[in-house]
């Protein structure tokens, strides 16, 4: 599988990495409903068998559970160890309530807990999960958080440091302290806002980009219908997401039908087209693809080798122009 150098690191990563938000499951406000730990471990191992060489996780996914599953899977893996990327800044209390904390001592505690759950001595890429949470809140502590990540790197606890969900202005603030290895932003054929200034900024400054939600949490897989969405468990966060509800849902499913037509021309899945679309942007180093079962990552992994034509891209662009002007 093709690899690319991630920003200013020494890590050559495959174009697709496995995302673990969904396998965390859980009954918290950002959970994905009931979880199947055996299927999750099998999915992690299958991703490695397919050649993916990095796993993206976060402490908050399943309130630590996703990281524990990654550690469990790697304890049985006999091949080369994949790069492990995780995040800090979102913490929880004994009742599972989430809070945002970018203070030095909190991040240091988080790092130690992640190392223990992942069963490793060093994290390959440690990222600030959100500059402010909920989004739009105060980001006053990002400099303190970034300086703490620098210190963790100097101590050998982490190898490289990056940010997630940062704006250009926020990246400028922390870059004055130390270089940024990577940015993790949302990006999909449905959500293209970062093309305006964030992706060009990363290109200019040599910042690697690993995009998340290229499948929009399953919406762009070609398998979501009104009926399936209505049947999602009550504790699946997607039930509350406006993109999964009218009136946005009908517009979004129009895009899925366009992706389906392109998939037919390439004899591939809708998921492959949606993922490959994000990888065609020259600023994008890799895409994080979530999966809860082995067959899901088997379907998505070939997207790393799919090359869309200019006609394919123009068709998606035309839909986007219509949707954004409506």
CA 240, CA 244: separation in Å to the nearest integer?
A: 8
Give the other-Cβ count within 10 Å of 241's Cβ. Answer: 15
pLDDT, average across residues 169-174: 98
Place of tokens 């989004």: 135
pLDDT tens per residue, range 276-285: 999 999 999 9
pLDDT, average across residues 160-186: 98
Domains of the chain: 3-325 (3.20.20.100)
Radius of gyration of the CA atoms of the chain, in A: 19
| Structure confidence at residue 28 as a pLDDT band (50, 70, 90) | low
pLDDT at 12: 98
Mean of pLDDT over the chain:
94
Q: Would the pLDDT of 225 be above 80?
A: no
* Cβ-contact 252, 219 below 8 angstroms: yes
pLDDT, average across residues 92-104: 94
Look at 228 and 153; give whichever has higher pLDDT. 153
Give the other-Cβ count within 10 Å of 162's Cβ. Answer: 25
DSSP lists the bridge partners of residue 182 as 208
Going by the DSSP 8-state scheme, the letter that residue 165 receives in this structure is: S
Q: Would the pLDDT of 156 be above 80?
A: yes
| DSSP secondary structure, 137-195, as one string | S--TTHHHHHHHHHHHHHHTSEEEEEEES--HHHHHHHHTTS---EEE-B--SS--GGG
pLDDT tens per residue, range 49-72: 999 999 999 999 999 999 999 999
pLDDT tens per residue, range 250-303: 888 999 999 999 999 999 999 999 999 999 999 999 999 999 999 999 999 999
Give this prediction's pTM. Answer: 0.93
pLDDT, average across residues 38-51: 98
Q: Would the pLDDT of 326 be above 80?
A: no
Q: Would the pLDDT of 233 be above 90?
A: no
- Active site positions, annotated: 61
pLDDT at 17: 98
pLDDT tens per residue, range 112-145: 999 999 999 999 999 999 999 998 899 999 999 9
Structure tokens that stand for 236 in this block: 């699946």
| Structure confidence at residue 155 as a pLDDT band (50, 70, 90) | very high
CA 60, CA 100: separation in Å to the nearest integer?
A: 11
Structure tokens that stand for 130 in this block: 């959100």
* Cβ-contact 279, 287 below 8 angstroms: yes
pLDDT at 213: 94
pLDDT above 90: percentage of residues in the chain:
82
**Of the candidates 36, 109, 118, the residue with the CA atom closest to the CA atom of residue 74:** 118
């Amino acid at each position: 599988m093709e690899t690319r150098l991630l920003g200013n690191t020494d890590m050559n990563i495959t174009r697709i990495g496995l995302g673990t938000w969904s396998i965390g499951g859980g009954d918290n406000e950002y959970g994905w409903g009931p979880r199947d730990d055996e299927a999750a471990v099998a999915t992690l191992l299958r991703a490695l068998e397919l050649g993916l060489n990095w796993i993206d996780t976060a402490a908050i996914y399943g309130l630590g559970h996703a990281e524990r599953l990654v550690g469990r899977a790697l304890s049985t893996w006999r091949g080369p160890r994949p790069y492990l990327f995780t995040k800090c800044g979102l913490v929880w209390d004994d009742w599972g309530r989430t809070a945002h904390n970018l203070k030095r001592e909190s991040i240091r505690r988080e790092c130690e807990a992640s190392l223990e759950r992942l069963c490793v001595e060093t994290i390959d890429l440690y990222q600030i999960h959100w500059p402010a949470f909920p989004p739009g809140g105060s980001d006053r502590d990002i400099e303190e958080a970034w300086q703490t990540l620098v210190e963790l790197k100097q101590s050998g606890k982490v190898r490289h440091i990056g940010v997630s969900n940062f704006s250009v202005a926020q990246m400028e603030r922390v870059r004055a302290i130390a270089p940024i290895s990577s940015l993790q932003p949302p990006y999909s054929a449905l959500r293209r806002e970062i093309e305006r200034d964030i992706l060009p900024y990363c290109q200019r400054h040599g910042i690697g980009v690993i995009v998340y939600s290229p499948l929009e949490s399953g919406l762009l897989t070609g398998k979501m219908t009104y009926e399936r969405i209505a049947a999602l468990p009550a504790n699946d966060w997607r039930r509350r997401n406006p993109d999964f509800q009218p009136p946005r849902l009908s517009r979004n499913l129009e895009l899925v039908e366009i992706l389906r037509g392109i998939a037919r021309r390439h004899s591939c899945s809708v998921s492959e087209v949606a993922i490959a679309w994000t990888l065609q942007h020259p600023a994008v180093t890799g895409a994080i693809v979530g999966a809860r079962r082995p067959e899901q990552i088997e379907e998505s992994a070939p997207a790393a080798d799919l090359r869309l034509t200019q006609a394919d891209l123009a068709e998606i662009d035309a839909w986007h122009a219509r949707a954004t002007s409506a």
